[in-house]
Amino acid sequence: MRICFLMYPWEKVQPDGDSTIRMIHEAVSRGHSVAITHANNLTVRDSIAQAFCKVFVKGQKISSNIASFYRHASFNQQKLPLAAFDAIFIRLNPPLDPIVLNFLDSVREDTFIMNDLDGIRIANNKMYTASLHDPDNEFIPITHVSKNKDYLARVLAESPSDKMILKPLNGYGGKGVIVLEKSAAQSARSLLDFYIGDADRGNYVILQQYVEGAELGDIRILMLNGKPIGAMRRIPPIDDVRSNVHAGGTVMKHQLSEQEKRLCAHIGPKLARDGLFFAGIDVINGKLIEVNVMSPGGIARINRLNGVRLQEKVIDFIEFMVKSKQQLSPRKQGFRQLLSDAELII
């Protein structure tokens, strides 16, 4: 299999906790042809979408230690057509430049792309979570998306709870997530001004029901093809509402509750239908807070907590999808030839 990881710069990888490098290591260890590239390296020449890639040199010694593998990896650098790859795995941090997806559109018929481009288009910001069907709010907290400051101030004032969560629509890694309190309405208005900005070209924000228990942390669940494959509890640092590890949170082992299993069963089929085969969902007290589809993390820490290797399941799935696509292609070509032959019959 020939696979390209479209990811953040290799130099910014932190081997100890990085999920992407574990999947790269697994693919390289299996003998696959593996390349990595970045969004800035995409180009078009002669109407062919290409990328300046770092290609792992075949035959090099592959250390079982991730940090050692990272330090000693050897590459050839080459400009390659994207259609040369059997699979492209998108591992970019949000927000996503939509032009990146335009580059990939030209090869989607020939190459398996994870996650699906249309799925990413509709789910790469937090609007996706707010739009999931849950009329009784059993799984999804009441969520408002707007840049109308008056409306959002009124929502906060009329909230039955004294506090709500405010966050930017396109944020990630816990950046910009704060608690708004009704008792501090003047500060809330100032914060809305700051987050939204200019009235004409302002930023959309999310104002969300505060879920009790948030101060105790959240649950990160990794979903593969619509089913949970691993989870961990993330605990926020003192005096911070955010549980993200990059924001100073810590992690501990977690077994899914019955409510969390029902939640996964509720949203899993839609994730798979939308081609969001690898996703990370964040859950508090059995309610879905976010769906992460660009570069969800957690593999390294869940592996460490449970003595597992989730990257094996991910690469297994990509191999299966590539094999299925390859088997389908000649069959479809045969069917098309039958149609062409039929058009010639007089």
Domains of the chain: 2-114 (3.40.50.20), 142-209 (3.30.1490.20), 214-311 (3.30.470.20)
Question: Which has more pLDDT, 183 or 323?
Answer: 323
pLDDT beyond 70 at 195: yes
Quote the pLDDT of residue 209.
Answer: 87
In this prediction, residues 157-169 reach a mean pLDDT of: 88
Rounded to the nearest integer, the mean pLDDT of the chain is 89
Residue 89 contacts by C-beta under 8 Å, 6 or more apart in sequence? 3, 4, 5, 6, 7, 23, 114, 318
Q: What is the pLDDT of residues 242-278, one digit of tens each?
A: 455 554 578 999 999 999 999 999 999 999 999 999 9
pLDDT beyond 90 at 303: yes
pTM of the model: 0.86
Antiparallel, parallel or unpaired: β 2-7 and 33-37? parallel
In this prediction, residues 195-213 reach a mean pLDDT of: 85
Q: What is the pLDDT of residues 50-85, one digit of tens each?
A: 999 999 999 899 999 999 999 999 999 999 999 999
Quote the pLDDT of residue 133.
Answer: 76
Neighbours of 61 (CB within 10 A): 8
Percent of the chain with pLDDT over 90: 62
- pLDDT category at 28 given cuts 50, 70, 90 is very high
Quote the pLDDT of residue 51.
Answer: 97
What span, in angstroms and rounded, lies between the C-alpha atoms of 34 and 15? 18
257 bridge partner residues: none
